[in-house]
Structure 1
């Protein structure tokens, strides 16, 4: 079945295809709720800042869209106040109805440390894949540091989950 037929079957158009989600490593320690990095760019997490999100952290997991389950890596690129910049890397292994794809784009958004809500919007392509569009993410950072939530902005996309990074 052609890729455009798969999209049409999922309620999308031939131009809309799922984009990658955030993910992380399953062996992270518990993260205490606290303020964001407070502008200490490049600083690693320590007892004095007890940050939830830290520049350089890599979250690994997956997301679901029209093409199926897709591997996702979210890299925290920069943090300043409640602003968060990330790199969204995705890798779809392929299926009988969709070709393999690998790409990345930057995202910008906010993190509310009080509610632990992360909101990210696609910003610009780094490694564009024909037929794919950027998706937005809205999720919650759990007590263990993992992030889960919804893929928004594209018909046929549903949820994502990424594990907390090792520190």
Structure 2
């Protein structure tokens, strides 16, 4: 029997001697039992020990260790698309400078779904399609790939975009990843 089990049995015996016998009793320790002096070099994670006192004549009690649960060392970074639901600006592509509104539809953790809503002012052409991407909080980057048209104008194709969010969340800028296309610049509106 290990040192911890002996300590548990001693604790149960002490509780029985104090009149805590009769039926099962539960004791919750706020911190783990003190470690064996030989174990000081390797501290243990915090845990809760539940010691069950069995009725007289029952076999020795079982010591059960329950972890308090995982606690993250830091909380996940906020997804800037959660707060700013519409980003407005423009992008350059083969048709020329085109107005763009990126309308956020759904944010689940790091995954973002949006509507790529564009308008080419010189020709009056408008269109929109669904896009989705995964925000990377470490780099503040995201790549959006298209999935399906909502309104498809003639001679237009869906394009991907990848860019970075400014550290103050005031700008989402990057490039349209299609030959002949260039940069985009979007600012949050709300």
TM range (shorter): 0.5 to 0.7
For the residue of structure 1 that corresponds to 2:102, the secondary structure is strand
Which gives a bigger RCO, structure 1 or 2 (Cα 8 Å, sep 6+)?
1
- Say how many residue pairs are matched: 114
Q: 2:84·2:188 contact (CA, 8 Å) conserved in 1?
A: no
Alpha-carbon distance change, 55 to 125 in structure 1, aligned in 2, over 3 angstroms: farther
Aligned counterpart for 2:145 among listed residues 115, 121, 128: 121
Normalized against structure 1, the TM-score is what? Answer: 0.64
Whether 2:98 is the aligned partner of 1:70: answer yes
Whether 1:104 and 2:128 are equivalent positions in the alignment is: yes
Distance 1:121 1:128, change over 3 A: same
Matches within 5 A, 1:30-49: 35-36=77-78
Equivalent-residue separation in structure 1 for 2:149 and 2:83 (angstroms) = 20
Superposed CA offset, 1:96-145 (max 9, x none): xxx32101000011101111001100110001111000010100000232
2:174 is equivalent to residue 149 of structure 1: yes
- TM-score of the two chains, using structure 2 as the length reference: 0.57
Cα RMSD (Å): 1.5
SS class of match (1:54): helix
Matched, 1:52 2:80: yes
Gaps of 5+ in 2: 1-75
Unmatched 5+ stretches in structure 1: 1-33, 37-50
Structure showing greater radius of gyration is 2
Instruction: Determine which of 145, 164, 182 is the counterpart of 1:140.
Output: 164
Instruction: Name whichever structure is richer in helix by fraction.
Output: 2
Secondary structure of 1:112's counterpart equals: coil
